[in-house]
Chains A and B, each alone.
Chain A
Amino acid sequence: MTTKPSEENPNDPAASDQMEEACELNQLTQLLRLKRYEQPPSDYFENFLREFHSRQRSELLRRSTARIFLDQLTARVADFGGSRAFVGAAACCLAVTGIFLFQGFGAPSDLSPAGVATAETTEKAEMAARPVLPVAEPLPLPRDLVDGPLEIYPVGIQKVGASYYILQKPLLEAEPAEETDPSSYRLPFLDLDEVE
């Protein structure tokens, strides 16, 4: 028959270690229990409530109408069983819809050659705060290209020094004449490799 050392053999070193450990733990828990008496003075909680009321009042005054509306809306959605995730998703949908609507009203409908003027106007409106906004003048091109196969599109804005330029890029619809030096078509800021 085996015997349990902790119960039947008090001289067992393992058992005495265990007892010592239990005793130390007991002492520790007693000490920790004493900490519950570390409380503030008796009138603290009365004053605490008073301060809580004044903080609530000042918070109400500080909060904007929009914030109060949002809080009430959230609470109402929650009343109808909506979760926070639902509220978040709804807010996201609303924001995305707003962005689409804003872009729909503000952006030009297309950037075709006929819409260049509209695009320019829009670009100018967007950069109204900026000091200078000249359109980069292309170098002179052979007349047959300008009148014929070459069309110019606005492709972006580039800053040079303190000035901003609307970049234009020619779209070549036909190969240039063999005798023409390709470098003569180069426009400011234009990378000819991109032109096909």
Chain B
Amino acid sequence: MAHQQRKPDEDAELVARARKGDTTAFDELVIKHSPKLYGLIYHMTSNREDTHDLLQEVFAKAYRSLKRFRGKSSFYTWIYSIAVNMTLNFLKKRKRRQTMSLDDVDNHIANDKDFIAMTSKSDPVREVGIHELQKRLNAAMQSLSEDHRAVVTMFDIQGIPHKEISKVLGISEGTVRSRLFYAHRQLQNFLEEFRKS
């Protein structure tokens, strides 16, 4: 039987330097991980201001807790766990906001191959307009529970594999798959209603 070896943490050196008090090393970690963490928090909160504040708090907490980071998981998994937990706590405290701030689809989408493929097809999606559909999708995302939204955000939007998600959330891979299944079904129903209307 092949012995499974854990991949060495590519952030290990930066983390070691940061633990010794090298603030530039921590800055590098911030620069490296903030875009992905931003996406995670943003798609879970659907609010830019909340995302900004939460992201600041996530890095502040990570900086304070860096001495306690034992390296049992990768730094990436560790800081992701901090971000997910803080965001889930935040969402539980905050009443779900009805106003969507995700109404501006980024211009980069126009160059995406999926976008081109989708808009060139003759299907109902094209008729309603991708912009409107994105807005609708945001609403559908908000209709999910926080736990389901977290899984959809990490898997479907950010492309994180099941195994990594299970480590971040501290749940089994089976639970990740099951949450994804129900979340997809709920999203499909939501969008289906939209198409019919």
Contact between B38 and A34, CB atoms less than 8 A apart:
no
A48 touches B55 (CB 8 A): yes
Interface status of B109 (Cβ within 8 A of chain A): yes
Q: Are B67 and A33 in contact (CB under 8 A)?
A: no
Of all chain A residues, the one with the shortest Cβ separation from B57 is: A55
Binary contact track A36-59/B, C-beta < 8 Å → 1, others 0: 111110000100110110011001
Give CA–CA (A48, B157) in the complex, Å: 23
* Cα A36 to Cα B108 with chains together (Å): 10
Interface segment among B2-10, B74-82, B169-177, B183-191: the answer is B183-191
Hey, which chain B residues are within 8 Å of A56, CB to CB?
A: 60, 63
- Is A7 on the interface with B (CB-CB < 8 A)? no
Kindly list chain A residues whose C-beta atoms are within 8 Å of the C-beta of B114. 30, 33-34
CB-contact partner of A33 in B133, B157, B188, under 8 A: B157
B34's contact among A27, A30, A36, A45, by CB below 8 Å, is which?
A45
Distance in Å: Cβ of B72 to nearest Cβ of chain A: 12
Q: Which residues in chain B, 5-64, are within 8 Å of chain A measured between CB atoms?
A: 27, 30-31, 34-35, 38-39, 42-43, 48, 52, 55-56, 59-60, 63-64
> Which of A71-79, A104-112, A151-159, A185-193 faces chain B?
A71-79
Q: When each residue 20-31 of chain A gets 1 if its CB lies under 8 Å from chain B and 0 otherwise, what string results?
A: 000011011111
Q: In the assembly, what is the distance between CA of A48 and CA of B30, in Å?
A: 9
Task: Report, as a range, how many residues of chain A touch the other chain.
Answer: 20 to 34
The complex places the Cα of A51 from the Cα of B157 at a distance, in Å, of 27
Check A48 against B133 for contact (C-beta < 8 Å). Answer: no
Does B193 reach chain A (CB closer than 8 Å)?
no
Name the contact of A34 in the complex, choosing from B35, B42, B109 (C-beta under 8 A).
B109
Chain B residues touching A, majority SS: helix
A/B pair count, beta carbons within 8 Å: 91
Residue on A nearest B70 in the bound complex, by CB: A78
Q: In the complex, which residues of chain B have a beta carbon less than 8 angstroms from the beta carbon of A38?
A: 39, 42-43, 102, 104-106
* Chain B residues within 8 Å of A48, by CB: 30, 34, 52, 55-56
- Is A66 close to B, CB under 8 A? no
Interface flag for B125 (CB, 8 Å): yes
The answer, yes or no, to whether A85 is at the interface (CB within 8 Å) is: no
**Closest CB-CB distance, A76 to chain B, in whole Å?**
8
A99 to B192, CA, bound (A): 64
Task: Pick the residue among B31, B35, B115, B156 that contacts A39 (CB under 8 A).
Answer: B35
> Which residues on B sit within 8 Å (CB–CB) of A40?
38, 48
Contacts A32-B157, A78-B67 known; A39 to B60 CB distance under 8 Å? no
Interface residues, chain B, with chain A CB atoms under 8 Å away:
27, 30-31, 34-35, 38-39, 42-43, 48, 52, 55-56, 59-60, 63-64, 67-68, 102, 104-106, 108-109, 112, 114-115, 117-118, 125, 130, 133-134, 137, 152, 156-159, 184, 187-188, 191-192
